[in-house]
Amino acid sequence: MLKGVQPILTFLHFPGEVLPLALLRPITGSGSLAITTDLIAQYGPDSYIGRLASTIQGSTDTTLYVLTVYFGAVAIRNTKYALKVGLLSDLIGVIASVMIVSLVFG
C-alpha cells in the first residue's frame, strides 16, 4: 500500500509509519492510541516519528465518535456539514502537527 503513496509522502516530509495513525484517528481513539504506543515503543519518544505521533494524537479528535455520541444525545440527524468540518479539522491537525514538529524539533 505504501509503495503507491510513498513518493507523495516523501515530498510532504510525512513518514509512512505515521500514515495509519492519521487515517485511523478520526475513527477510533483506542485504536489510534495503540498505534501511537507501538510507534513510540519502536522508534522512541524523542524520535521524529514518536513526537509526530504524539502531536497528531493530541491535536486531532475521534470525529465519528463525537458525532455519534453528542449528536445522538440531542437527536440531531443531519450531520453532513459537521462531518465535513470535523474531518477537515482532523486533516488540518495532521498538517499542523507535521509543520510544528518539523519547525520545533527539526
Note down pLDDT in tens along the chain; length 106 residues. 568 888 888 888 899 999 999 999 999 999 999 999 999 999 999 999 999 999 999 999 899 888 888 888 988 888 889 999 999 999 999 999 999 999 999 7
Q: Is residue 6 part of a domain?
A: no
Per the CB < 8 A criterion, the answer to whether 17 and 43 are in contact is: yes
Is 84 a domain residue?
A: yes
Q: Is residue 93 part of a domain?
A: yes
Give the residue numbers spanning the domain of 100.
15-105
The one-letter amino acid code at 72 reads G
Give a yes or no: residue 37 inside a domain: yes
From residue 95, how far is each of 41, 61, 88, 99 by CA, in Å? 23, 14, 11, 6
Q: How many domains does the chain have?
A: 1
**Does residue 10 fall inside a structural domain?**
no
Answer whether residue 25 is part of any domain: yes
In a domain, 4, yes or no: no
- Specify the pTM: 0.88
